[in-house]
Structure 1
Amino acid sequence: MKPYQGAGSAAMPLWDFQGSTMVTSQYVRLTPDERSREGSIWNRVPCFLKDWELHVHFKIHGAGKKNLHGDGLALWYTQERLVPGPVFGSRDNFHGLAIFLDTYPNDEATERVFPYISAMVNNGSLTYDHSKDGRWTELAGCTAEIRNQNHDTFLAVRYSRGRLTVMTDVEDKNEWKNCIDIAGVQLPTGYFFGASAGTGDLSDNHDIISMKLFQLMVEHPLEDDTVDWTKIEPSVSLLKSPKDNVDDPTGNFRSGPLTGWKVFLLLLCALLGIIVCAVVGAVVFQKRQERNKRFY
């Protein structure tokens, strides 16, 4: 947080950075509003807290209008640090947690409204698909107006007793708004916090103004004392990913929240089913009445 102990490309106490990252008196700029740049900043001290909350004061802004800007910013809690790569300036196939603040829709067929915030937990086996904006590996997400705001913008990431919560304060109301809430998340201790950003053919300024970590005082069951939290594998105990209903490459149909037109179709089908059942029932009843009359 300000005042930063460093300037330009000089090292900062407890923090390392790489790529296009520059330290000024007011912010740490991960990328300037220029094409094909990437930068990151990482804390040197691993986090051994079981329950924590991270507050990030950031600013994404640039000259581009409408969809002429990109690509976005990522917040990390991972085993790896200072490794450049294609995922918003950092490596793919990571171990840990990533929160993506994506400002550009690469998938032209998407129904989502950008900028879009999403969460991903990876044990090193998953690849982030930029062409689909990470849709196949996303756990949950929300739309948030985080770009070119004239007021301060904040993001909070809370992890406590296996529950991951992401909140935003981007409307100048000085209050947190829920974005993501997922239970069953397993994250080990001993990982590192960082932030990265990347630009491609389109660009933006991606600034980190402060990153503050708080310890949450939470009671755990006694059996948790016997667990080696540094050996836990990052995972999420979800049967299905809570995303929009889309066909995935394997041919399966993903479950998720129903959009308005899908609810309408379901209600229409249910109404048609009721009408068909009523007609069939009336015909059967009439034939039985006629048969009873002939019998008597």
Structure 2
Amino acid sequence: MHITSQSLRSIAWAALAISTARAQYVIDNLSFGQKLGGYISPDLRSVPHFDVKGIDDYVPQILSDRVILTPPYPGSKRGAIWAQEAMHHSGAWTASVDFRASGMERGAGNLQIWYVKESQAHETPASLYTVSKFDGLVLVIDQYEGRGGSVRGFLNDGTIDMAAQHDPDTLAFGKCDYAYRNRGELTPIKLHHAEGFLEVIIDGATCFKTDKIKLPEGYYFGISASSAENPDSFEIHRFIVSTSNTNTRDEPNRNRYANADQHQQQQNLASQKGHEQQTHKNQQQQNYGSSTSQSDIPKMLEDVLAGNIRSQQDQFADLHNRIQIINNRVFEIAELVERIHKDNADRWNELMHRVVPIDDRGAATIRNVEKVERTTMQILRDLESKDFKDMMNQIHRALENNQEGVMRSLPTVMGAVVSSHGPSMTTFFFIAVAVQIMITGAYIVYKKRKGGAPKKYL
């Protein structure tokens, strides 16, 4: 098959046209975490263009790359993050959320993604089961009906009181099952809205899709989470709203955001300059009074809330002391590890010196032992493989034959022994005569002694 250069140019122009048509433009004032590295907070206190809030003196924790709406401990906490600006895009748009849910084996909680009117936005964080009336869309992610996980979509025009419903889950217009807890990785979920349809995509697969919903512009995005007594921790790492339309209604706001960003940069530069001056001052103090500063470094600091440290100098001092404490502890751990490694090396060398190498005699002994083992194994195999029934029968017949032979030859042998070794008749005659002579002599001696004995007369 031959492809001409003209065909190649046509294919290239078609691919460029398709990529241009499908290009997505991120709306910065409705997104966070879209920058390189995933940084969402410059000062760990706020998220630009978003409001972060909680209830009952609880404030969600803001880190450099995530927002922890509900903590892993304790439970029964609620947190939310709301966009400060409305969505002013009439064309196709996509809202993408990367979150993580983790907790104990039977932990519980729920996560809501909102797109509602301004009257419901920025309110106290609530879930589907506690909110009364709202106008807009909400996606609920929880363990509905005891399953591993469920994603459900709800719509309301402001007339339905969700909190008063006996079973609000029956009002869902779309749902799917998805195990989102303790996955060990981020879970991406997308809400794609275009002319004529609304699609929810989770982890790259379509959860549900409908062509009967059209969301109006001018609504606000928000994410809320609540945990149960056995809590689930919900972390939001990215929230990105993108559109394929470059001409948007928020163009007039860009100058305001640019001025705000410029003002923020000026504040950051001033803060950095003050930080450098404070660092230079501390270095000078260390150079002129190192002997006293070493003794002033605390060994341990108590935990304090970030809100209790007001001034920048106190913040820097607290951070400086804690970094020095961590540095000292790391140095001590490094020394301990090095000492343990040295002790193990010394013990290994001592053990190797005590081991006597095997000489030729030892090798010969080992060979003899191996030979005995092989012979023993051969005997065992022979004993296990052979049948000794015939051999036992032969031994039994041999014993019977030996017994019969002994019984036949025993009288003859005994007669021969008696005849060859027994006494003769002459011997018996002389023995009888000698016995008679001895008896007669003994009687004569008795009579003589009796006759010669003195007599007594009465």
Instruction: Assess, with a 3 A threshold, how the Cα gap between structure 1 residues 209 and 97 changes in structure 2: closer, same or farther.
Output: same
Structure 1 segments of 4 or more deviating over 6 A? 130-133
Find out whether 1:70 has 2:108 as its counterpart.
yes
Count how many residue pairs are aligned between Structure 1 and Structure 2.
202
Kept after mapping to 2: 8 A contact 1:40/1:90: no
Q: CA deviation at 1:136?
A: 2.1
Find out whether 1:3 has 2:42 as its counterpart.
no
Instruction: Assess, with a 3 A threshold, how the Cα gap between structure 1 residues 90 and 192 changes in structure 2: closer, same or farther.
Output: farther
More strand by share: 1
Q: CA deviation at 1:42?
A: 0.7
> Structure 2: which 5+ runs fail to align?
1-32, 247-458
Give CA-to-partner distance per residue, 1:147-169, whole Å, 9 cap, x none.
10112210010111131100111
Instruction: Assess, with a 3 A threshold, how the Cα gap between structure 1 residues 197 and 163 changes in structure 2: closer, same or farther.
Output: same
Instruction: Assess, with a 3 A threshold, how the Cα gap between structure 1 residues 199 and 30 changes in structure 2: closer, same or farther.
Output: same
1:193 to 218, 221, 224: 221
Give CA-to-partner distance per residue, 1:113-149, whole Å, 9 cap, x none.
3310000111112233699773221011000111101
Kept after mapping to 1: 8 A contact 2:227/2:233: no
CA distance in 1 between counterparts of 2:164 and 2:94 reads 28
Bigger Rg, which one: 2
Give CA-to-partner distance per residue, 1:229-269, whole Å, 9 cap, x none.
xxxxxxxxxxxxxxxxxxxxxxxxxxxxxxxxxxxxxxxxx
Kept after mapping to 1: 8 A contact 2:135/2:157: yes
CA distance in 1 between counterparts of 2:112 and 2:130 reads 8
> Structure 1: which 5+ runs fail to align?
170-175, 219-296
Instruction: Give 2:62's aligned residue.
Output: 23
CA distance in 2 between counterparts of 1:4 and 1:117 reads 26
Find out whether 1:96 has 2:136 as its counterpart.
yes
| Backbone CA RMSD of aligned residues | 2.4
Q: TM-score, normalised by structure 2?
A: 0.41
- Give the fraction of aligned pairs with identical amino acids, expressed as a percent: 22
> What does 1:22-61 align with in structure 2 at a 5 Å threshold?
22-33=61-72, 34-50=74-90, 51-61=92-102
Q: CA deviation at 1:88?
A: 5.7
Kept after mapping to 2: 8 A contact 1:71/1:88: no
Instruction: Assess, with a 3 A threshold, how the Cα gap between structure 1 residues 133 and 150 changes in structure 2: closer, same or farther.
Output: farther
1:177 to 191, 202, 205: 205
Instruction: Assess, with a 3 A threshold, how the Cα gap between structure 1 residues 58 and 213 changes in structure 2: closer, same or farther.
Output: same
CA distance in 2 between counterparts of 1:141 and 1:185 reads 15
Instruction: Assess, with a 3 A threshold, how the Cα gap between structure 1 residues 204 and 191 changes in structure 2: closer, same or farther.
Output: same
The AA in structure 1 aligned to 2:98 is: H
Q: TM-score, normalised by structure 1?
A: 0.63
Kept after mapping to 2: 8 A contact 1:21/1:28: yes
More helix by share: 2
